[in-house]
Structure 1
Amino acid sequence: MDTALLFFIPLAALVLDLLLGDPQRIFHPVQLLGKALDWEERTVRKFMGKNLKAAGILCLVVNVVVVFHVVNFLVDIPYLGWAIFLYFAYSGLALGQLLKEGKQISHLLDQNDLERARNRVGQLVSRDTDAMDENDMRKALAETLSENFNDGFIAPAFFLLLGGPALMWTYKMVSTMDSMWGYRNERFEQLGWAGAKGDDILAYIPARLSALFLAGGAWLVKRGKKGLAESIMADAAKMKSPNAGWPMATVAWLCSASMGGRTKYDGEFVEKPHLGPEQGVWDHKTLSLLLRLLMVSGIAGFLLMHVYFFLIRYAAF
């Protein structure tokens, strides 16, 4: 593909993502990945029910190989490859959708439309939302936006800019396996082990880049703070996930609002690690700051990674 196209197509994908959010009226590749994983789960439970951990590993390897080669084949189609490249790049980014969801739910909360807000928050998080008050919903929204800043944007952008749509969607395949199978319960503990570990490995560098970009973005929106590195690292280490705590802890400290604490899942309360300042509260002001921070940090981080990887690739030839 022409060098100029390789430079400008990722930028066009970012613009489309910010303007349109997730594809709504056209096919989204994640839908196909989800249907494939549903079929695979039924199949392996039928034929490999006593070896689910091995089945999960096999599914991971097969899915990664198939997705990588299929996407590579499609973007290499003569004359149409550039358009397919753009579509896969755009549909794999989710910053625009995160900002859209965050603004819409924040508006509902500002209008005191708590019932609709609970329904919308419930579509984004796995915790129980029925009894949430306004502050609980704002905190839950802030947590999922912060975590998905990496999972839904920085990590896929990192792999897109590193190796193109094929590598991006290889990561998205592993991430989707983790989101669908990566639960620590009786049903998925064995089957989802490989996907969860694979996601932990692939998201390791992007998660830390997310924290770095958020910290840099804070200075751009004039909310930068000195001396927070130790607090962020200490809080990030509290999380069971080796990656989720990095963007979450960074956001909590930059916005001076706490995350974690007592949270209800499937009718039972779970004490999640506390992140950020003890007394910080999520309100209209702090949530608005978060949305600005995600937008500025996301755009700046994308551009920095794009220029870096493009120069490395260009210098190599």
Structure 2
Amino acid sequence: MFVNIIIFLLFCYIVDLIVGDPRSWPHPVKVLGKAINFIEHKCRITGFSLRKCGFIVLFLGVFLILFLVSLCISLPFFGLVISLYLGYASLALGCLIHETRKAQKLIAGKNIQQAREAVACLVSRDTEHLDQQGLYQALAESVSENYNDAFCAPFMYLSLLGVPWVWAYKFVSTLDSMWGYKVSHWKDLGYAAAKADDILAWIPARTGALSMLVASRILRLESSVSWSRIAGDARKTDSPNAGWTMSAAAHLLNVRMGGAASYFGKTRIKPEIGSGDNAYSKSKIDELINLIVLSSIIYAAFFTLIALIIS
């Protein structure tokens, strides 16, 4: 049993890191996205309360995902293959790093228009007017925030609760990423998904930030950074979870995050995170990627150990 857990989690982690998410391959999240778009259309034409629709879709979707995934992985022989695939596909760290490297290369080469398009694939903010520094900052903020969504949260649920539950989480996370915006068009329909995602990502956000702090000691980054400083800035953000890994990255790399940013054509002033005044550069993104990768190894080792203890 112990060996099986280690092999399974190690397989999922390594394959995700190496293979990532090739765009030509089918992926369950793409299926979820298409289904959610179809459901959204139906919700908006029913005339029923959008907030109630959001709750109904959330609860029915979670139960349906749990049933279907449990059914698939219980199949003789094919169940093991499906389980390995769904375990690997639930993680997105490899894809995050690959897309970050791609955008970083374009920014460093001053291919600004192409860089704006590449960064736009990773962030929800508007990128069409960002200069080189703005693009680097948007990239750094996105990578550090998405460390939680792409890896920490799914790995925790995968290791502790198994494949069906990690995909229940992925459904909630995908629903939140598509509907959970605080604008008039989405605020009612996405309310349930946003609240559910806040709850489910609460522990991973904080343990993810802690893994970054531990990793920074090995990499000999800013040794004076304390947990209280990270936590203090993390609590400035509107989201209860997004600020934790961002705050850790900002302090450990000695840069600033936050400030003015444009979303859907409207400028928002976000709280400033971090105390550094260093300019962003290609080397800073390199440091961030190294920090994220080492943090993920520490995080994976910790939750694999917890999975072994409770199994």
Q: TM-score normalised to the size of structure 1? A: 0.95
Q: Structure 1 runs of 4+ off > 4 angstroms? A: none
Question: What is the deviation of 1:227?
Answer: 4.5
Aligned to 2:157: 159
Unaligned runs of 5+ in 2: none
Q: Is residue 23–residue 91 contact of structure 1 (8 Å, CA) maintained in 2?
A: no
Find the partner of 1:104 among 98, 102, 105: 102
Find the partner of 1:118 among 116, 119, 123: 116
Q: Give the match's secondary structure for 2:268.
A: strand
Q: Give the match's secondary structure for 1:272.
A: strand
Aligned to 2:63: 65
Deviates most, 90-99 or 271-280: 271-280
Find the partner of 2:273 among 275, 283, 291: 275
Counting matched residue pairs gives: 311
Q: Deviations over 1:49-91 (max 9, x none)?
A: 3411111001000000000111111111111211111100111
- Tell me the amino acid that sits aligned with residue 309 of structure 1: A
- Tell me the amino acid that sits aligned with residue 258 of structure 2: G
Q: Give the match's secondary structure for 1:93.
A: coil
Q: Give the match's secondary structure for 2:261.
A: strand
Q: Is residue 5–residue 82 contact of structure 1 (8 Å, CA) maintained in 2?
A: no
* CA root-mean-square deviation: 1.3
Q: Deviations over 1:241-297 (max 9, x none)?
A: 000000000000000010000112232221011000152322122111001000111
Aligned to 1:34: 33
Matched, 1:168 2:166: yes
Distance, in Å, in 1 between the alignment partners of 2:142 and 2:168 is 23
Q: Is residue 215–residue 224 contact of structure 1 (8 Å, CA) maintained in 2?
A: no
Q: Deviations over 1:158-190 (max 9, x none)?
A: 000011111100100000010000011111111
Deviates most, 140-149 or 228-237: 228-237
Question: What is the deviation of 1:222?
Answer: 1.8
Distance, in Å, in 1 between the alignment partners of 2:182 and 2:111 is 34
- Tell me the amino acid that sits aligned with residue 115 of structure 1: Q
Aligned to 2:249: 251
Matched, 1:284 2:273: no
Question: What is the deviation of 1:226?
Answer: 3.3
Distance, in Å, in 2 between the alignment partners of 1:225 and 1:154 is 23
Distance, in Å, in 1 between the alignment partners of 2:273 and 2:222 is 18
Aligned to 1:6: 5
Within 5 Å, give how 1:140-151 maps onto structure 2.
Answer: 140-151=138-149
Unaligned runs of 5+ in 1: none
Aligned to 1:18: 17
Aligned to 2:44: 45
Q: TM-score normalised to the size of structure 2? A: 0.96
